[in-house]
């Protein structure tokens, strides 16, 4: 019976598979085999034993491991015994010299590597779709809003470019942190490697080479959790970017703004009681799940504060954290890709909001034009008076400007109308979009 919504509601099959019991067992066995090969290479165990161990990995099944664990109460030792019983006499060489977390942490690195590959792919998809939208809408004029109030004109292309640039930085961060995250260890009981004898360092390095992982420089009984905390904080940062985009889209879909809208299926129902509703449910889902992802940061940090060479408080916590944070981050990125791909813009409402304040929001443009004649501070004071007058009387800002003698003696009506045209006051918005797009496409 399914309990957690990840089981039936959230997550892609691709990412979920990585965190199944079957794949986790497979990773444990891969590490045990790599260890045996490394030990055989240095003469610590017979090469025939290493070959036998490798040949019998696929015979170990989850059900048998669980049966043994129920009997002995130790999950990793159950894996060791399940593999050993398939290997005959060679089974005595399984897990030779290793401690449980040598296998657990190194196997986790293999899972994280597969998961990070998916996250990276999803981020590239999101970056690409945001870039496409930035190009498509680089000339789409709209109002900006600061403090929730209408400001000077901007473009939708610039908005999409800003988000795309942020996702590009996440890809850079991911590239930088992978060498710190994707490492394994083979340290023995307390990090000295004594159980591996004089060949310890070589065994550790060879094991990781076989697995395609980096090797820790030093460890105790486990890989230090600052590495994993960095990963969880990175995923929380990604989730916050998605949250930011989702909040922006939800605000822009408000009935009184209505500039953008999530795609709404022909048979989709928005409300069980209000038939007219078209709610931004996908963006709301992203914003909601971002809270869950961010909530994993504190336990991930606390998992680094263990007793002495280790205790077990991180173990139960991480069994929840890693699948949840990886699956939900993948899900939210994937959901946001679909949202951006299918988002609908309503030009008529975009234009309506540009004109909503009857030109008052163009006061900065006129102020800058007037400032060239009389100075910035004086121009600001004059434009503020005109704007307040236009707001109070309901006049169009152009009329308020033309009626002001301090303005009309410095600026002609044609000059005022030019300055009041939103299309003439978007600065380098288009150029910035083009530069960001080129940079991000070159980085692909």
What is the band of 48 on the pLDDT scale with cuts at 50, 70, 90? very high
| Second CATH level (architecture) for the domain 14-96 | Orthogonal Bundle (1.10)
Check pLDDT > 80 for residue 386.
yes
Would strands 260-261 and 344-345 be described as parallel, antiparallel, or unpaired?
antiparallel
Q: Is 271 a catalytic residue?
A: yes
For the chain, domain boundaries: 14-96, 98-262+280-355, 357-424
Q: How far apart are CA 319 and CA 324, in angstroms?
A: 9
Q: Is 186 helix (H, G, I), strand (E, B) or coil?
A: coil
Could you give the C-alpha distances from 95 to 77, 112, 418, in angstroms and in order?
9, 22, 79
What pTM was computed for the model? 0.94
| Second CATH level (architecture) for the domain 357-424 | Orthogonal Bundle (1.10)
Check pLDDT > 90 for residue 266.
no
Q: How far apart are CA 271 and CA 91, in angstroms?
A: 61
Q: Are 25 and 60 in contact (CB under 8 A)?
A: yes
Q: Is 147 a catalytic residue?
A: yes
pLDDT at residue 378, as a whole number: 95
In 112-266, beta strands by DSSP E: 141-146, 149-155, 183-184, 214-215, 260-261
pLDDT at residue 257, as a whole number: 94
Tell me if 14-96 shares its fold with 357-424.
Answer: no
Catalytic residue from among 147, 198, 276, 316: 147
Give the alpha-carbon dihedral of 81, 86, 89, 94, to 10 degrees.
Answer: -50
pLDDT tens for each residue of 360-372: 999 999 999 999 9
What is the band of 312 on the pLDDT scale with cuts at 50, 70, 90? confident
Catalytic residue from among 4, 74, 175, 271: 271
pLDDT at residue 270, as a whole number: 77
Overall CATH class of domain 98-262+280-355:
mainly alpha
Check pLDDT > 80 for residue 265.
no
């Amino acid at each position: 019976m399914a309990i957690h919504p990840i089981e039936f509601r959230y997550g892609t099959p691709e990412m979920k598979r990585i965190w199944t019991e079957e794949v986790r067992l497979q990773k444990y066995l891969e590490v045990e085999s790599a260890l045996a090969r490394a030990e055989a290479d240095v003469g610590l165990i017979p090469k025939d034993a290493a070959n036998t161990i490798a040949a019998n990995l696929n015979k170990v099944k989850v059900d048998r491991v669980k049966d043994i664990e129920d009997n002995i109460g130790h999950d990793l030792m159950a894996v060791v015994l399940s593999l050993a019983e398939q290997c005959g006499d060679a089974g005595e060489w399984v897990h030779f010299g290793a401690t449980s977390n040598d296998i657990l942490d190194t196997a986790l690195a293999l899972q994280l590597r597969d998961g990070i590959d998916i996250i990276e792919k999803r981020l590239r998809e999101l970056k690409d779709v945001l870039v496409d939208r930035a190009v498509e809408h680089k000339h789409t004029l709209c109002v900006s809003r600061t403090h929730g109030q209408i400001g000077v004109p901007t473009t939708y292309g610039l908005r999409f470019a800003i988000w795309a640039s942020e996702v590009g930085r996440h890809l850079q961060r991911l590239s930088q942190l992978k060498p710190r995250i994707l490492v394994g260890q083979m340290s023995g009981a307390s990090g000295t490697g004594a159980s591996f004898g004089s060949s310890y360092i070589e065994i550790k390095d060879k094991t990781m080479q076989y697995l395609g992982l980096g090797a820790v420089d030093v460890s105790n009984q486990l890989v230090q959790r600052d590495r994993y905390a960095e990963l969880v904080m990175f995923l929380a940062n990604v989730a916050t970017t998605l949250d930011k985009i989702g909040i922006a889209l939800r605000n822009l879909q408000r009935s009184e703004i209505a500039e953008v809208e999530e795609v709404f299926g022909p048979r989709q129902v928005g409300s069980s009681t209000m038939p007219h509703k078209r709610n931004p449910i996908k963006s709301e889902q992203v914003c909601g799940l971002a809270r869950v992802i961010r909530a994993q940061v504190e336990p991930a940090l606390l998992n680094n504060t263990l007793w002495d060479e280790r205790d077990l408080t991180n173990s139960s916590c991480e069994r929840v954290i890693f699948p949840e944070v990886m699956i939900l981050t993948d899900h939210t990125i994937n959901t946001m890709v679909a949202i951006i791909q299918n988002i609908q813009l309503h030009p008529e409402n975009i234009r309506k909001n540009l004109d909503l304040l009857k030109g008052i929001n163009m006061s900065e443009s006129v102020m800058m034009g007037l400032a060239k004649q009389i100075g910035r501070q004086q121009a600001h004071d004059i434009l503020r008076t005109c704007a307040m007058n236009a707001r109070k009387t309901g006049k169009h800002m152009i009329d308020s400007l033309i009626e002001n003698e301090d303005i009309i003696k410095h600026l002609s009506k044609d000059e005022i109308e030019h300055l009041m045209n939103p299309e003439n006051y978007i600065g380098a918005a288009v150029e910035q979009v083009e530069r960001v797009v080129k940079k991000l496409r070159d980085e692909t």
